[in-house]
Structure formats: C-alpha cells, structure tokens
Amino acid sequence: MTSDAPAASARLDPVPGEWRRVSPKYIVVDLVGNLISGAVSTFAASLPVWLLHWGDWWWLLTVGVGVVSLVLVALTPRRVRSIGYLLREDDLLFRRGIMFQRFVAVPFGRMQLVDITRGPLARALGLAELKLVTAAAATGVVIPGLALDDAEELRDHLVALAETRRAGL
C-alpha cells in the first residue's frame, strides 16, 4: 500500500455536514408522474396487439413494461428520500440516486441563474423546484420538492453568495 491510500479512502467517505432533504410531500408528485408515465408506456406497448392483431407474444412486452413501471413506482419513496443538498463554504453539493448515485458540486461563483419552477401538482402541495444553471452543462442541478418558502429563501441566499463570489466573470 502506498501512503496515498488513506487520503483516497477519506475522499470516498460520505461528506460530513447537515444534508437537507426534500419535502416528503414530493413523494406524491413523483409517484403521480411515475404512475402516469407507466400507464402511458404500458398502453403504448399494448397497441400493436390491439391495432395490428400481432401475435400473443406481444403481450409479453406489455407485461414487461407494466412490471418495470410497478417497480419504479415501488422505489419512488426511497428514491425521493435519497435526494438532498448540502451548503458548504464555497459550493452547494447535491446528491440523488439509490443504485446510481450522483453527487454534483456547484461553486457559488459559477452560478449564472437560480430559477424556481412549480408544476400544477407541486403548486397544490406548496412545493417548488429550484434550478441552478452554470456555464458547464454537466453541473446544472435541479433540486425538486422544496417547500416554496424554503426554495425562495435558498434562491435568495444563493444569489447573494454568487454575487459576492463571482469567479472570473
């Protein structure tokens, strides 16, 4: 083993700090979206059987799409609980995902736009989505399922930090 091994393993440890999670109400929004897309996908997979009278084996496609949709619906609460963000000294760290985890650090000085959007169901539940845009497309972050007050407060805080830390702009 080299002397770099402890430093490398320390990097892979979970990031310390107080992670903030999205609202539990967001489970409803994500669940409804998954149910609708699952129903549409399952219906679309069954169209060749109904319209073109293709063989019985096409029903396997419909069943397969339906099973995948149900698995996605079943994983929705866990997937929503995995979404979180952490405000650090120089950046915002965002995480999401169960099996395929994604961590993105967005430096405050590189933020170009902080946007709040609300769909009809999210609006009915008092939720909003905060979008952070930078010059690099890969670091764009969308934090869904924030309470509206929290989203507005976070937006104002991030804009103030970004203005004080403009990096090379």
Residue pLDDT, tens place only, 95-150 = 999 889 888 888 888 888 899 999 999 999 999 999 998 877 766 799 999 999 99
Give all strands (DSSP E) within 68-122, no chain letters. 84-87, 91-96, 102-107, 111-117
Q: Decide if pLDDT at 46 tops 70.
A: yes
Percentage, residues of the chain above pLDDT 70: 86
In sequence order, the β-bridge partners of residue 129 are 117
Higher pLDDT, 108 or 56: 108
Instruction: Supply the pLDDT for residue 49.
Output: 75
Residues 6+ apart with CB under 8 A from 92: 85, 86, 105, 106, 108, 132, 141, 158
Residues 6+ apart with CB under 8 A from 100: none
Instruction: Supply the pLDDT for residue 106.
Output: 87
Average pLDDT, the chain: 84
- Between CA 161 and CA 125, with CA 105 as vertex, the angle to 5 degrees is 75
- What is the mean predicted confidence (pLDDT) over 59-72? 90
Q: Decide if pLDDT at 43 tops 60.
A: yes
pTM equals 0.78
- What is the mean predicted confidence (pLDDT) over 24-53? 89
Higher pLDDT, 111 or 23: 23
Instruction: Supply the pLDDT for residue 14.
Output: 61
Higher pLDDT, 6 or 25: 25
